[in-house]
Structures are given as structure tokens and as C-alpha cells.
DNA sequence: GCAAAAGTGTTCGGCGTACACCCATGC
DNA sequence: GCATGGGTGTACGCCGAACACTTTTGC
């Protein structure tokens, strides 16, 4: 950053921390009406056997955004989804003498498009948000911030596009919203509000699946 | 962060960047109905002679929050004000070979309580937001993010408490809001909305200042 | 009494919420 | 024809926005 450092710009430099900078990616999906998060089982100390948010160091020649995109791709195989910076944690560190900074991001993925990395060590797995295993470090805190942000984002953005396939029914969309908000929504009000928002548009297509009236398919306007 | 790093946790560690982590503090105040930001004139390369957001390295034994509080106190003498993390920039760096990460914070201060650091080199000065000097690095971007966040915060929090003295008139409060939002507000609607919000409460006191009706003084409820 | 800022109420439109019935299809 | 989920309309309360006159003081 090389900005000034009050009285003694050079002197204070000697005391500057040179921590590892890591990115953490909180990856959410919605499956069967349940909000889930991707966690990795730690196969080595510290916190061996506990589960943690996927993350890793920012590499040389890489921006933080690129590191986040790479991490997401490594774990899920997906790119080009909702991914945005969340918060930077300075105190998640298991080894305080060295210092570390975790720049957390959060991502939304459609579960059908995900191919989880097939590892036995550092194994990734989806976990239901209201039934999490013991987490490493302060990862509960990070997930909590991410969840709050997600709920807010849903109110005024079309972030949900990233949780659904290109075409979907109103019911599927509503289930995603309900899973995230954690409460049931009124079908008529939901439909009216979403259509008025201009986030989604109707397609000419319908989908028949069962012995009942076929459902209109919609798509997100931003994904034309 | 010592989380896993995909296949080769140890190997990738060798390529990890060890950047300097700096905090930047975007310090806002409102003076005479104008939103201002505190900038520092750079007295050395890089970007000598340009103005920059106050900032500096996070020191050993210091959390990021503490570094932000310290920076704010060094420049303004104030503590115990609105201060919150904004965004982390990975690409503000003047020296890419070394790498640096800037964790930006933003603060709101009451101008009367500020005692600017008296330096001739790295001199701090208030600048009107719509009349900024040439800035170092990408500091315009940072200020822009901070301003947007401030506008949003104002809608649903009592953040303005930090821009006003303990007691103030409705007009003073409204001027702060107008300076930040950049547009005039209706006096009656403003009064009604703020009182309904429960952010502020009336005190028994009034202030007479001029040949007109004295104004009721209010205070923020959170600052009891 | 007059200049100057403080203080006060009502109307209207939009939006979120509550709520119940008909429609299209498969079997 | 009946079971199943898809699809639709109305009424109400709240909130933000627009808008003009009276009150209290100093001089």
C-alpha cells in the first residue's frame, strides 16, 4: 500500500506484519429446498478432522479475485457464477505468531452444475446450514456473515440466477427464496413481486412433469 | 489461514504471496453542509505530491481493527466513533513485485472534535468530495465505494451520530443528511421520519441563536 | 412590526401482505 | 372424474413524497 505511516514512514515499516493472505470462499447452493454450504474435511493439523471453508493462499501473479475464482473452480468445477467479496477477517488465525489475513468471498452455485473435487483427503462435502459439523477456527462466524449478506442480496438483486438452471418454474424459484430466507412465502405475492422486478422473464416454454397442469418456464433477464 | 490448498497443501505454500497488509481509513466529515474526506499529501515516491487516503501497515501484535482505530486516532485524535470495514483491495499496489493488500475502512467524525496531525510533510487536509485533488494509486475508487456505502448506511442505521455533537438541532441533522445524500430533503417529512425511527430523542433543552424562535435540541438514543 | 428560522398536518400513490378458488393435465 | 400442482385478484395498512402556513424570537 505504501501510503504514509504517520511520523516515521520508514521506521514503522520495520514492524510491519507480512502475513499470509488467503482467500476463503463460502459456497452456497440450494438442494431440495435446503440451503447448503460446501465444507472441506481437514486432514492435517491444525484442527484436523474438523470441517472448514475452502480456501488457500493468494499465489504470486494472481489478484485476489483470480484466487477466489480459482478456488471456486477447483472445488466445484464451475465458473461464471455469482461471486463477491464478503469481509476480511484478521483474527481467524490458528498460528498467531505468523499472522494471517483471510479475505472471505461468497459464491452461489447451482448444485446440478457442480462436480465436487474427488479427494479422500481434504474431502469436500455439502452441509445443510442448520446442521453443521464442528468447524475449524472461527468458520461459524464467517458463514454467519455470508448468510446474512445472502439474505440481504436476495432482496434487491437477481443473485438467485446463480442458484438455478437457465430455465426454471416459479415454484423452483420460490423454493430457492424460501430456503434462503428460511420462511414460507405467499405464492401469489411472490409471483407478482418477481415479475414486477424485471429480474425474470417468461419463456414461451412449459414443462410437464406429472399428472397436473404444466408449468411455465422462466429465465433471468440478465442471462439472455 | 492454513486452510487446505487443493491437492498439494505444502507445495502451493511455496508460491504463496507474503504481501504487506495495510489498512486504509476513509474518514468523512460534514462541514457547512459539505461532505468532506481527509487526505494526506504524499511527500515521497511513489506518487509524490499526490493526495492519498490515510493508511499504513498493520503492525505486529495488532489486529486489523486496532490498526484502523490507531490510524484514525493518529490523524484526527478521535476515538469511539463510527468505524467499519469497507472492502479489501488487492490491486492498489504501486509496486506489484512486492504485493500488497489494502483493507479499507471508513469512519465518520464530527469535525469540531478533530485535531488534525500538525505535519508539514504528509500533511492531512479536508477535501470537499466533489472537488478532489489528483489522487495517488486508485484512491478515487476506494472513496467511491465508501461514499456509496455511507449513503446506504444512512438509510437504515443511526451512523450519523458520529457526524454530530452530542446535542444538535433538527436543521443540523438534516444538513448532514442532505450533504451525504446530495439532495435537499423536505423538512416535515425528515422530522417525522427521524423521530419515528427512534434513532434520536428530544432533550428538554433549546438553543437560541439569532433573532428567531429557538430550536429544540435532540440527541441520538444510542448515545445515552 | 418585521425579519428569520422553527415548527406543524393532510393527501396521495405504491408496495408489501393476507387470503381462496379455478385450471390443466395424467391416470 | 379425481388427484395434483399451476395459476390468478382484491382489500388493507404502512410508508415515502408532495406541499404552505403559523409560531417564536431579536431587533
Say if residue B218's pLDDT is above 80.
yes
Nucleotides of strand D lying closer than 7 angstroms to a protein CB: 3-10, 16-20, 23-27
B117: exposed, middle or buried (C-beta count within 10 Å: 0-12, 13-18, 19+)? middle
Strand-strand pairing, B34-41 and B51-52: antiparallel
Residue A194's pLDDT band, with cuts at 50, 70 and 90, is very high
Say if residue B207's pLDDT is above 90.
yes
Cα B131 to chain center, whole Å? 17
* Alpha-carbon distances, residue B126 vs A20, A78, A142, A151 (angstroms): 34, 46, 36, 37
Q: What is the pLDDT of residues A64-108, one digit of tens each?
A: 999 999 999 999 999 999 999 999 999 776 555 566 899 999 999
Question: Closest Cα of chain B to A221: distance in Å?
Answer: 25
B213 touches strand C (CB under 7 A): yes
CB contact under 8 A, A1 and B7: no
Contacts of B4 in chain A (CB under 8 A): 40, 42-43, 52, 54-56, 122
B211 touches strand C (CB under 7 A): yes
Residue B223's pLDDT band, with cuts at 50, 70 and 90, is confident
**How many beta carbons lie within 10 A of that of residue A157, not counting itself?**
14
- Give the closest nucleotide to B174 (alpha carbon vs C1'): C6
Picking from B19, B62, B94, the nearest residue to A21 by CB comes out as B19
Q: Closest residue to C26 by CA to C1' distance?
A: A211
Side-chain-side CA neighbours of residue A69 (13 Å): 8
Q: What is the pTM of this model?
A: 0.91
> Which among B175, B112, B130 has a CA at the least distance from the CA of B37?
B130
B32: left (phi > 0), else alpha (psi -120 to 50), else beta? left
Quote the pLDDT of residue B130.
94
Residue A116's pLDDT band, with cuts at 50, 70 and 90, is very high
> Which among B83, B43, B100 has a CA at the least distance from the CA of A5?
B43
Per-residue buried b or exposed e for A213-224, using 16+ beta carbons within 10 Å of the residue's own CB: eebebbbbeeee
**Size of the A and B interface in Cβ pairs below 8 Å:** 177
Picking from B1, B5, B55, the nearest residue to A1 by CB comes out as B55
CB contact under 8 A, B52 and A99: no
Contacts of B60 in chain A (CB under 8 A): 15-17, 99
Quote the pLDDT of residue B19.
77
Contacts of B62 in chain A (CB under 8 A): 17
Q: What is the mean pLDDT of residues B156-171?
A: 98
Q: What is the pLDDT of residues A177-191, one digit of tens each?
A: 999 999 999 999 999
Q: DSSP letter string over chain B? A: -----TT-HHHHHHTB---EEEEEEEEEEEETTEEEEEEEE--SSSSTTSEE--EEEPBTT--HHHHHHHHHHHHH---SSEEEEEEEESS--S-TTT-EEEEEEEEE--GGG------STT-EEEEETTS--PBSTTHHHHHHHHHHHHHHHHHHS-GGGGGS-SSB-HHHHHHHHHHHHTS---HHHHHHHHHHHTSEEEEEEEE--SSSPPEEEEEETT--
Question: Closest Cα of chain A to B96: distance in Å?
Answer: 9
Say if residue A11's pLDDT is above 80.
no
Picking from B60, B75, B100, the nearest residue to A1 by CB comes out as B100
Picking from B9, B57, B75, the nearest residue to A17 by CB comes out as B57
* Alpha-carbon distances, residue A31 vs A37, A96, A178, B17, B47 (angstroms): 10, 38, 12, 36, 51
3-state secondary structure of A213: coil
Question: Closest Cα of chain B to A69: distance in Å?
Answer: 13
Quote the pLDDT of residue A98.
61
A18 touches strand C (CB under 7 A): no
Amino acid at each position: 500500500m505504501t501510503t504514509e505511516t504517520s511520523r516515521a514512514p520508514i521506521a514503522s515499516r520495520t514492524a510491519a506484519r507480512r502475513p499470509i493472505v488467503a482467500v476463503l470462499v463460502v459456497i452456497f447452493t440450494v438442494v431440495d429446498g435446503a440451503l447448503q454450504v460446501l465444507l472441506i474435511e481437514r486432514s492435517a493439523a491444525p484442527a484436523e478432522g474438523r470441517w472448514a471453508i475452502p480456501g488457500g493462499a493468494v499465489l504470486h501473479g494472481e489478484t485476489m479475485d483470480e484466487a477466489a475464482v480459482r478456488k471456486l473452480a477447483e472445488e466445484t468445477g464451475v465458473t461464471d457464477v455469482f461471486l463477491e467479496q464478503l469481509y476480511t477477517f484478521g483474527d481467524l488465525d490458528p498460528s498467531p505468531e505468523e499472522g494471517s489475513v483471510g479475505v472471505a468471498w461468497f459464491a452461489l452455485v447451482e448444485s446440478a452444475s457442480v462436480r465436487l473435487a474427488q479427494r479422500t483427503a481434504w474431502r469436500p462435502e455439502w452441509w445443510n446450514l442448520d446442521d453443521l459439523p464442528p468447524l475449524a477456527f472461527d468458520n461459524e462466524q464467517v458463514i454467519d456473515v455470508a448468510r446474512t449478506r445472502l439474505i440481504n442480496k436476495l432482496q434487491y438483486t437477481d443473485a438467485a440466477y446463480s442458484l438455478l438452471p437457465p430455465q426454471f418454474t416459479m415454484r423452483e424459484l420460490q423454493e430457492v427464496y424460501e430456503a434462503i430466507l428460511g420462511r414460507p412465502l405467499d405464492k401469489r405475492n411472490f409471483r407478482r413481486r418477481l415479475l414486477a422486478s424485471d429480474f425474470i422473464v417468461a419463456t414461451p416454454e412449459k414443462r410437464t412433469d406429472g399428472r397436473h397442469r404444466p408449468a411455465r418456464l422462466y429465465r433471468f433477464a440478465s442471462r439472455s
